[in-house]
């Protein structure tokens, strides 16, 4: 293979890679996300906490902290247990096990055999 073919092949490969990268970036930017508070695992937050106790991702101290957030697809947050679109709300919620106040919610019973 001569040098001209090698250079041409390299240019084509680079152009294809760049085109693929641009498509993936455009898809990510078009996907709408929202901040979801109260559902983050310790050390898995996306950025600064709402109370400014830290300013970096990955510094959440505890699971389900209502001041920590993670980006989720739009519309998903409020479907998650403990999820809230506002800081300070949501968080780990008690289950309806008959021991906690779950007014207006039906309890699911396990009917086996």
For residue 98, is it within any domain?
no
Q: List the domain range (segments joined by +) for residue 63.
A: 32-93
pTM of the model: 0.54
Whether the CB-CB separation of 50 and 88 falls below 8 Å is answered with yes
Segment 22-63, tens digit of pLDDT: 555 555 556 799 999 999 999 999 988 988 888 888 999 999
In this structure, the answer to whether residues 69 and 54 fall within a common structural domain is: yes
Res 70 pLDDT > 80: yes
| Nearest partner of 37 among 94, 95, 76, judged by Cα | 76
Structure tokens at 104: 């207006």
Query: Tell me: the pLDDT tens digits for 14-32?
Result: 666 666 765 555 555 567 9
The rounded distance, in Å, linking the Cα atoms of 103 and 32 is 34
What DSSP assignment string belongs to 20-51? HHHHHHHHHHHS-EEEEES-PPTT---S--TT
* Residue 79 resides in a domain: yes
In a domain, 22, yes or no: yes
One domain for residues 11 and 62: no
Answer whether 14's CB lies under 8 Å from 41's CB: no
Q: How many domains does the chain have?
A: 2
Shared domain check, 75 and 46: yes
């Amino acid at each position: 293979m001569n040098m001209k073919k090698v250079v041409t092949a390299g240019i084509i490969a680079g152009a294809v890679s760049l085109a693929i990268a641009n498509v993936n970036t455009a898809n990510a930017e078009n996907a709408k996300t929202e901040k979801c508070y109260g559902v983050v695992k310790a050390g898995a937050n996306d950025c600064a906490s709402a109370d400014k106790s830290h300013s970096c991702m990955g510094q959440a101290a505890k699971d389900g902290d209502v001041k920590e957030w993670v980006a989720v697809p739009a519309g998903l947050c409020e479907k998650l247990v403990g999820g809230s679109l506002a800081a300070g709300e949501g968080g780990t919620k008690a289950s309806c096990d008959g021991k906690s106040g779950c007014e207006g919610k039906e309890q699911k019973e396990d009917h086996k055999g």
